[in-house]
Structures are given as structure tokens and as C-alpha cells.
Amino acid sequence: MWVVISHARHARLGPLCGQRGGRLRRGAWYPIVEESADGHVVVEVRQQRVRLPRGDVTIRTEVPDHWSVVARTGVLRPTLGRRGSDVVTTYAVCPLCHYRQDYAGKPDRLKCVRCGATSPVDWSETC
């Protein structure tokens, strides 16, 4: 089974996510390596085990087959946009290699520039 961290749940997980030293990324899928009777799951993140409250993650039984769309939050770095262009406020996460990739418009499918896989984009939920 797999878990994905959504935007609302990301905030509740606090120091485990996104900030300096944080290990979990919104939109990324992590394999569950253990489930406990006390309502927690243990996921593997960069070859380390991280214990999370089951209620703070979305659990899926199948391996992801679509790109996750992630909205950037917090302070946006000026390096995200090129001179004369808009700052990029969203990116997509490849279901196979987990690469974070910018995109234009609202594509039905994306081809990963890192691994070359082409997969559908899930627009039903933004992380």
C-alpha cells in the first residue's frame, strides 16, 4: 500500500514536511512498510522509516499511475520564475520516479523529462 500527503494534511504534519530538514513532500507517494494497532503507519522516505498518524495520510492500495499536481505554498523564491515571466505556483510529481516538473496549461498527460514515462495527470485533487 501507498500513502500520499495532501495540502491540508501536510500542514498538520508540521516539521516532517517541506521546511528545512523536512522529509515528506506534498504529492509524493510513499510505500507503507508497517501498520500499527494504535492508528499509525510507517512509511519509507529516502531509506528512512517515518511514523505517521493514519488519519493524516491518504492510503491507496495500488501503485500510483498518474501525475499528482502540487500547489506551492508559503514564500515563493524569486528563482522560480524567469525574468519577465510569471512565477510558477504549481508543479506535477511523476508517478514513477517522483521528479517534480513544471508544466504549461492543463495537460491530460505529461512526459517526464527525467525518466521519459508518459502518464495521465490527476486534476481531481491538488496537493
> Who wins on pLDDT, 40 or 4?
40
Return the percentage of the chain with pLDDT > 90, whole number: 23
Taking alpha carbons only, the member of 18, 126, 1 closest to residue 66 is 126
- At residue 92 the predicted structure's pLDDT band, cuts being 50, 70 and 90, is very high
**pTM of the prediction?**
0.67
**Residue in the structure block whose three cell numbers are 509524493:** 28
Please tell me what DSSP assigns to residue 4: E
Sheet bearing 48-53, strands edge to edge: 48-53, 40-45, 29-35, 2-4, 58-60
Q: Where are the domains of the chain?
A: 2-60, 67-126
